[in-house]
Amino acid sequence: MAETLSRDNWYKDFFQGKTLELWRRAKSLDQTEAECAFLQEVFDGEDRFHLLDVPCGNGRLSVPMAQAGFKITGVDYSEEFTDEAANEAKSAKLSKDAIQFIRSDMRTISFKQKFDGAFCLGNSFGYFDREGTAKMFNAISGSLKTGAKFVLDSVMTAETFLVDGAKREWVRVGDMLMLVENRYNCRESCVETDYIFVHDGKEEIRRAVHWIYTTGEICSMLEKVDFKVLELFGSTECDSYELGSEKLLLVAEKK
C-alpha cells in the first residue's frame, strides 16, 4: 500500500535536485514565447504595468515579460528558483526597478492593491486543499487594483485531468527520463503522484499532491474574493475550453 503523503507541505521538499532540472527543460522556447504573447494580449500590451508572477519559478516568464516592458514582481517558495531567477534577470541587464523576486508562500502575500495584473502559469495551481486555495485566491485578490486582470492556467482541472490523466507514463525531456505514477483519491478529490527522475545513471524520487477542482469550483472561489471570470480558453491560441481540452487558461478581472 502506498505511503500517505504529507499533504500540507509536500511542495517544501519537492522543488530541488532533479525536479528543478526537469522543470527547467520542460517548457520549450516556443511554448514560453506563446505564453508571453498571450499574457501581453490579455494585459493589452501596456508597458510599465506592474504584474505579479506567482509562483514565478526560475523566472521563465518573468524575465521575458520584463524585457517586453512590464514591471514584474515574482514570488516563489523555492529559494533555489528565486536565486536563479534573479541571476537570469541580472544576465538580461534588467534593473531592480524593472524586476524583483521574493521568496514567500503565495497564500500569505500581502501587497495591498499594488499590482495592475497577475498571472499563475506553468501548471502551478492545485498545490493546496480547498482552504489553502481559498487563501491563495484571497491573497492575490488583495494584491490587485480594481480592474486588474488575473490569468490562471492548469492541466489539473477535472475537465482535463480526469479525461486525459494517465495512471502511469514515461516522459522524456532531453536526456532525462521521468516516470509518473498517479493515484486518484476520490474521497478527497486529489491525485497523489510519484515522480521518478532518471538522469546520468542516477535516480531521484519525489512525491506530490494536486487537488482536483472542477472549472465551476474555480470560478466560484474566484467570485467569492471579488473576481469576475471573463474568459475560459483551452490554449494560448484562445480556443474555447471544453471537456477534454489539454489545459485551462482562465482570465478574470478584479471588481
- Do 117 and 61 fall into the same domain? yes
Assess whether 114 and 232 both reside in one domain. yes
Q: How far apart are CA 200 and CA 254, in angstroms?
A: 47
Is 79 in the same domain as 111?
A: yes
The reply to whether 151 and 37 lie within a common domain is: yes
pLDDT tens, N- to C-terminus, the chain (255 residues):
344 445 667 767 666 666 666 666 666 789 999 999 999 999 986 667 999 999 998 999 999 999 999 999 999 998 888 999 999 999 999 999 999 999 999 999 989 989 999 999 988 899 999 999 999 999 999 999 999 999 999 999 999 999 977 777 887 777 788 888 999 999 999 999 888 888 787 888 888 899 999 999 999 999 999 999 999 999 999 999 999 999 999 999 999
Same domain, 241 and 176: no
**pTM of the complete model:** 0.89
| Same domain membership, residue 218 and residue 127 | yes
pLDDT, residue 1, reads 34
Determine the pLDDT at residue 46. 61
Domain extent at residue 69: 14-155+213-254
Query: For 28, which DSSP code?
Result: -
Q: Is the bond leading into 64 cis (omega within 30 degrees of zero)?
A: no
Give the pLDDT of residue 19. 66
Q: Is residue 9 domain-resident?
A: no
* The pLDDT value given to residue 4: 44
CA neighbor of 253 nearest in space, from 223, 224, 232, 228:
228
Give yes or no: residues 44 and 108 share one domain. yes
Do both 228 and 146 map to the same domain?
A: yes
Collapsing DSSP to helix, strand or coil, 71 comes out as strand
Q: Are residues 188 and 234 in the same domain?
A: no
DSSP 126-192: --S-HHHHHHHHHHHHHTEEEEEEEEEEES-BHHHHHHH--SEEEEEETTEEEEEEEEEETTTTEEE
Q: What pLDDT was estimated at residue 15?
A: 66
Same domain, 120 and 198: no
- Residue 243 sits in the same domain as residue 176: no
N residues, the chain: 255
